[in-house]
Structure 1
Amino acid sequence: MPNKPIDALFQLVKSLEKSEKRNFKLYVTRNTAAENLKVIELFDALDKMSEYDESILLKRTKGIKKQQLSNLKAHLYRQILSSLRLIRDEQNIDIQLHEQMGFARILYNKGLYLQSLKVLDKLKEMARQYNQITFQLQAIFFEKKIEALHITRSSENRASSLVEEADHVLGALELTSASSNLSLMLYDWYIRHGHARNKRDEEELDKFFARHLPDGAGKGKGFYERLYVYQSYCWYAFIRQDYLMYYRYTQKWVDVFEQHPEMIRVETLQFIKGLHNLLSAHFDLRNEAGFAKTLKRFEELDQEPIVQENDNNRIQSFVYLQQARINQYFLRGTFTEGLDLVPYLEEKLEEYKLQLDRHRILIFYYKIACLYFGSGENEKAIDYLQKIINWKVDLRTDLQCYARLLHLIAHYELGNVDILEYLIKSVYRFMAKMGSLSPVEEEMFKFLRKSFGHSPASIKEAFRKLLAKIKPYENDPHETRTFAYLDVISWLESKVEGIPVQEVIRKKYERGRKGKG
């Protein structure tokens, strides 16, 4: 079911840990003003609600009138953020740098210019150590202001050294900004459209990439300059389904962190995302050994305090780690074994529902549906696919298309002849409208339309002919997307051989292992 709009204050209250709630109440009750007592009443009522409902909220807060609610909610929101601000995070570089900047301004306002400059020098050193270019720039601008307004005599050639330093930092910032812009725009392209669907999409993408790729990309030596260039190439290759190139740049993405291990603490989510993409590259290339090695590294990271003690890191790590574990079941053809993971996934999706975006939830629904389909439990697969189909089509149109196609095939497997004719027309129209019909899918629809006329004796031969038509597309770059979402060939082979689809995939996996051994 599509997400309902979530009240921001309710979402914030529900995100708090027990210790944070306790700290908030101590912070608010430091004085007993009547407004603060109402704030606590409102906080307690929100904390006890499972879903936000303003009419129920007003009934539970007798001391609050409807006309007061808006102002009290805004006040409570600010109070919660202020209380959280007081819980100092020693591990957060941003907070430490902000604190140093605050100290420098306080000293400056007291007229202690030299002391302020010393703090700014310390700030710049920490910012350089952790590649925080924007903080370096803020500190330099503040230093320039002090030097321009006061006679400090802090050092010889102070003006020229500050100008040189500012130019260097601005150059690095410009390249970082341009690269991060390109990376973000490419990621947005993928979220909205999925993979390039045809030659025209590829040509448009190539022009877009060439137009926005900054001059000097790949020549930068700084952490962020390199990271965002690697990310840009990574998304470009992924959208084009050039999985070898995708692998090379996801590996570079992870390697830049290994070369700067101090940045794992600063940019934990970027490292998590890099590991996720490297796992996806190994999966797309069917490199099970590389996949297993990267998964082990990810599992180790997941247990570290930098992940477990930060809500955002912990939730995103859950998302990507569980997707990787499901993909491992897909690689090995152990779909039924993977179903043991579903209750845990359902529990966590409910727990994190206020923090997870729809895109992540849709992917989980599709992967769970694939686990059930691969295990032969088509009714359960349909249940999860229906959740995707019923969602408003405003992102990942490719996922919507393949959810409908798999939904159709699951009904075919169940022999639901009464609705198959309608579904075939409906799904075909939807995929055609979205510009998502490939030659493989066209062949499948032709087969499905004629399948009603096949007798039980002739259907296996019909499957064999369809497999012969589709098999040549297996290594076609423009068909990679089709096989990535739905292993049509393994499904057809299972129909021809008369064995479950997961057994077909498991045999391929075992043959691959023996071949590499």
Structure 2
Amino acid sequence: MSMSEKRYFSLFAQRHTIGQRNNYFRLFELVEQMPQYDNELLTQKLQEEGLSVRHLSSDKNYLYHLILKSLGAFHAGKSAGLKIKEWLIQVEILYEKGLYEQCLLLLKKATQLADKFDLFSLKPEITRWASKAHGHSGHLATLNATLAEARNQLDILDNLFLYQDLYYRMIALRQSIDKARDMNSLAELNAFISQPALRDVSSARSFQARVYFWRVHAMYYYATDAPQKELHAIEHLQQLMESAPNYIKEFPFDYLVTLSRILHLKRHRDDEEFNKLLAHFRAFPAQIKKARRKLESQVEAISANISLSRLIEQKRWKEALELTAHTREVFAEYDRLLNQAQKISHAYMLAYIFLANGRFRDALVQVNHIMNDFEADVRPELQAFTRILNLVVHYELKNFRLLHYAAESALRYLRKKGRQFKFESHIIRYFKKFSRIDDEAQHRPLFEACRKELEEILQDEFERKGLEYFDMVAWLEAHIQQVPFTDVAV
């Protein structure tokens, strides 16, 4: 909750609880003070303050619903969707009291607002109440027109649901594949994008359906590694959103994601141009009145991750290391507001940067964090390459006897996830060889053989994508030349 929401809840709780106000609000304060919820600690603190814990479960349930009511009151009317839903509640009350003309006045306002913000999912409910009110008011001609409009709305809504379904199916496909690493994955992606509804944007009958159309295409081009085409699709999406400023006000996070993707795709521009793009992106929250804290958290986290990614790709390792102090502060400050994908991406880049700069124990902390603290379906491609980083870090720490176990564990993970690509499998096989030789001086021939075979594997364009996650060629070259990783230019 934001500070404003907390202040409002304090006042709201005073108005809506009698006698037990202090107890409920104190319960709220104690929970809010915890960095992570701990029921035993909460019970202990309540008992220390002389507050009853006999009905703690029901007290927490009451507090939960009280907070929801408070948030509902605090955010009332702050978006077009919320306004319409509030009006529909009022319409139902007026209808039950037989005030049909007053119902129709509110429904007219709701219709206008839904049209203005392209809120088609709310139109059927508006029309349902309008039909009932017109029927009781004797407006039969208007009723017939309303019913005809309802049928049209259902067709448009059905079309919207089609594109919404395609969008979420594409998200699932992209999450499982990330980027196509073999012909089967590419064929699956090509079959998906060839569906009739995705051939031309004119098939999308509403603004939101067109948004979904371009998002699906952008994800397809990402997964098939076509960045220029992805940028083209994202810029279409940006133009579409900017053609309807009300949409941006109603759905600021949708626009923010679009801007962030453009920033990511243009991260290769020179420093001056990139910094201008970054400044434009960071200025967006100031233009929006609602959810400011959440918007700021997303802007800060996305800016941090893209900036790190850019420095890694440009092999500016020292600058990347310097930036990590700031990015870690950002992720600590906004931890509760960030999603797992953002956090694992940040942790992976930290591990990579620490490894490159010779801070192997710091790298191992991040590697263990990724392997132990994230759900299996969060960025599976990063979790797979974290197993590679784990091997590299243990090698650098000279934990040679751990390598065999770690390599076997990595292979099991790749088999389980269906990610047994040549790039990763080849690397793991050589680490198993390293584990059999304790004398580091005898490893150089293995490095040379590994690099030679890897260069052959990388002739396959699908396998070359492995270098986007970790530059194994540079690491091998550093050991062959016996120089720091940061000194190798590949």
Query: Which TM-score bucket, shorter chain as reference?
Result: 0.7 to 0.9
Q: 1:293 to 1:469 in 2, by over 3 A?
A: farther
Identify the residue that residue 49 of structure 1 maps to in structure 2. 34
Paired with 2:199 and 2:288, the residues of 1 have a C-alpha distance of: 39
Aligned partner (choices 325, 334, 339) of residue 307 of structure 2: 325
Paired with 1:331 and 1:303, the residues of 2 have a C-alpha distance of: 30
Aligned partner (choices 5, 10, 13) of residue 28 of structure 1: 13
Kept in 2: contact 1:180–1:228 (CA 8 A): yes
Paired with 2:288 and 2:242, the residues of 1 have a C-alpha distance of: 18
Deviations 1:258-281 (A, max 9, x none): 222322111111112222333444
The residue identity in structure 2 corresponding to 1:364 is H
The residue identity in structure 2 corresponding to 1:79 is L
The residue identity in structure 2 corresponding to 1:39 is Y
Q: 1:222 to 1:502 in 2, by over 3 A?
A: farther
The residue identity in structure 1 corresponding to 2:7 is R
Paired with 2:408 and 2:93, the residues of 1 have a C-alpha distance of: 70
Deviation (angstroms), 1:205: 4.2
1:465-504 correspondence to structure 2 within 5 Å: 466-467=450-451, 469-471=453-455, 476-495=460-479, 500-504=484-488
Identify the residue that residue 404 of structure 1 maps to in structure 2. 387
Paired with 2:150 and 2:84, the residues of 1 have a C-alpha distance of: 18
Q: 1:60 to 1:443 in 2, by over 3 A?
A: closer
Paired with 1:113 and 1:32, the residues of 2 have a C-alpha distance of: 35
Q: 1:318 to 1:217 in 2, by over 3 A?
A: same
Kept in 1: contact 2:400–2:438 (CA 8 A): no
The residue identity in structure 2 corresponding to 1:253 is L
Deviations 1:247-296 (A, max 9, x none): 3323323232222232211111111222233344445xx56688656434
Deviation (angstroms), 1:501: 4.0
The residue identity in structure 2 corresponding to 1:441 is E
Paired with 1:150 and 1:234, the residues of 2 have a C-alpha distance of: 49
Paired with 2:217 and 2:150, the residues of 1 have a C-alpha distance of: 29
Deviations 1:101-134 (A, max 9, x none): 3444444444332332222222211211111112
Identify the residue that residue 163 of structure 2 maps to in structure 1. 179
Q: Secondary structure at the match of 2:36?
A: coil
Paired with 2:57 and 2:397, the residues of 1 have a C-alpha distance of: 53
Aligned partner (choices 358, 363, 368) of residue 345 of structure 2: 363
Kept in 2: contact 1:24–1:80 (CA 8 A): yes
The residue identity in structure 2 corresponding to 1:177 is F
Using structure 1 for the length normalisation, give the TM-score: 0.81
Kept in 2: contact 1:97–1:123 (CA 8 A): yes
Kept in 1: contact 2:88–2:126 (CA 8 A): yes
Identify the residue that residue 410 of structure 2 maps to in structure 1. 427
Identify the residue that residue 423 of structure 2 maps to in structure 1. 440
Q: 1:336 to 1:218 in 2, by over 3 A?
A: farther
Paired with 1:259 and 1:467, the residues of 2 have a C-alpha distance of: 52
Kept in 2: contact 1:268–1:306 (CA 8 A): no
Identify the residue that residue 255 of structure 1 maps to in structure 2. 239
Kept in 2: contact 1:113–1:152 (CA 8 A): no
Kept in 2: contact 1:336–1:372 (CA 8 A): no
Kept in 2: contact 1:242–1:477 (CA 8 A): no
Deviation (angstroms), 1:226: 0.7
Task: Structure 2 unaligned segments of length 5 or more: list them.
Answer: none
Using structure 2 for the length normalisation, give the TM-score: 0.85
Paired with 1:32 and 1:436, the residues of 2 have a C-alpha distance of: 56
Paired with 2:147 and 2:114, the residues of 1 have a C-alpha distance of: 18
Deviation (angstroms), 1:212: 9.2
Kept in 1: contact 2:180–2:224 (CA 8 A): yes
Paired with 2:383 and 2:26, the residues of 1 have a C-alpha distance of: 44
Q: Note the aligned Cα RMSD (angstroms).
A: 3.4
Deviations 1:446-482 (A, max 9, x none): 5445567799899777656654544466574422541
Aligned partner (choices 105, 113, 118) of residue 126 of structure 1: 113
Paired with 1:210 and 1:204, the residues of 2 have a C-alpha distance of: 10
Identify the residue that residue 238 of structure 1 maps to in structure 2. 222
Kept in 1: contact 2:160–2:205 (CA 8 A): no
Paired with 1:112 and 1:362, the residues of 2 have a C-alpha distance of: 55
Identify the residue that residue 92 of structure 1 maps to in structure 2. 79
Deviations 1:54-79 (A, max 9, x none): 23323333465444112211111121
Q: Secondary structure at the match of 1:29?
A: helix
- Same amino acid, percent of matched pairs: 22
Matched, 1:71 2:46: no
Q: Secondary structure at the match of 2:308?
A: helix
Deviation (angstroms), 1:325: 1.5
Q: 1:29 to 1:337 in 2, by over 3 A?
A: same
Deviation (angstroms), 1:96: 2.3
The residue identity in structure 2 corresponding to 1:387 is H
The residue identity in structure 2 corresponding to 1:60 is K
Q: Secondary structure at the match of 1:173?
A: helix
Q: 1:162 to 1:476 in 2, by over 3 A?
A: farther
Identify the residue that residue 8 of structure 1 maps to in structure 2. none
Deviations 1:162-189 (A, max 9, x none): 2342233222221221111221122133
Identify the residue that residue 98 of structure 2 maps to in structure 1. 111
Paired with 1:435 and 1:338, the residues of 2 have a C-alpha distance of: 32
Kept in 2: contact 1:175–1:214 (CA 8 A): no
Deviation (angstroms), 1:160: 4.3
Kept in 2: contact 1:241–1:480 (CA 8 A): no
